[in-house]
Structure 1
């Protein structure tokens, strides 16, 4: 039996600092994990990137490859994007693919790859009308957005609890969405 391939993407919100544990949890669930980060998240995790590459067995990516370069990852069976910041949610919904991970998830929708996403935004950001429109648009495109009841619930600015970020809900969604392992 071959492992299912999970592209696990994160943007720069405090829960991204827990990605080593999330990678291990996903691997325990039978996934071959490829890790992608926004440029800012990659800077935050710079001291741990080599460790994350050893853990996944794949390069950690935060930039598009050069034309003509081969893909270094196997094809995705499922994509999970968490934590997804206010900026990344809106860029993705609007099709603004400057960042590698946003480009991959935008293209993944068109390729029919199942995608789960869980924002990490505070209650002030969600007052901006574009955020709710973006979440609605992503859901209409078939993305399982774990936001609100049964997902991430925003906290007040400055009162984040990154240790309580519900990673298990994201991995449960990934297991549900991913095709069964190949024989």
Structure 2
């Protein structure tokens, strides 16, 4: 029996540096993981990309494939997009798909792929009204957004360091795969 395939996507926020641990956790629970990153997140992790490809057994993607090129990933049974920055969150809610990972999750809504997202924005960004609008738009589209006091990420003050609740995101993603 083939393992379930989970796409793990990340934006350029500090928790993206913990992605190796998340991949290992998902793999230990029977998932095959394909890692996708925004271009800036891929740049942040550029020294680790080769070892992350070895860990997942798949290319790490941060750009769209060219027309006619084969898809190098199997079909996703679920997508976990964490951390999601304000930029990626708002682009996704507005269907602005210039980024590969945003394009995949935007299309994933229409394909009815279970998607879990956990933003990573500080309280200054969170005070902008577009953040709440984007969260509500995505929730209304069927995305599980782990944000706010009812579970998931709670914004911290700018510069404040607090543990990112990866475990909540992993557990919810696995729950959504059945």
SS of 2:123's partner is: coil
1:4 paired residue number? 4
Q: In structure 2, what is the Cα distance between the partners aligned to 1:171 and 1:116?
A: 9
Paired residues for 1:56-71 under 5 Å: 56-71=56-71
Q: CA deviation at 1:6?
A: 0.1
Runs of 4 or more, structure 1, over 6 Å off, are: none
1:138 maps to 2:138: yes
The TM-score normalised by the length of structure 2 is: 0.98
Q: CA deviation at 1:174?
A: 0.8
1:14 paired residue number? 14
Q: In structure 2, what is the Cα distance between the partners aligned to 1:27 and 1:124?
A: 35
1:160 maps to 2:161: yes
Aligned-pair Cα RMSD in Å: 0.6
Q: In structure 2, what is the Cα distance between the partners aligned to 1:20 and 1:129?
A: 33
SS of 1:124's partner is: helix
Q: CA deviation at 1:160?
A: 2.7
Q: CA deviation at 1:59?
A: 0.1
Q: In structure 2, what is the Cα distance between the partners aligned to 1:29 and 1:174?
A: 12
2:45 paired residue number? 45
Q: In structure 1, what is the Cα distance between the partners aligned to 2:52 and 2:21?
A: 10
Q: CA deviation at 1:29?
A: 1.1
Deviations 1:142-170 (A, max 9, x none): 00000012110000001132xx1111001
Paired residues for 1:26-175 under 5 Å: 26-149=26-149, 150-161=151-162, 164-175=163-174
The TM-score normalised by the length of structure 1 is: 0.96
Q: In structure 2, what is the Cα distance between the partners aligned to 1:119 and 1:65?
A: 26
Q: In structure 2, what is the Cα distance between the partners aligned to 1:90 and 1:22?
A: 24
1:177 paired residue number? 176
Deviations 1:111-159 (A, max 9, x none): 0100000000000001110110000000000000000121100000011
Higher relative contact order (CA 8 A, sep 6+): 1
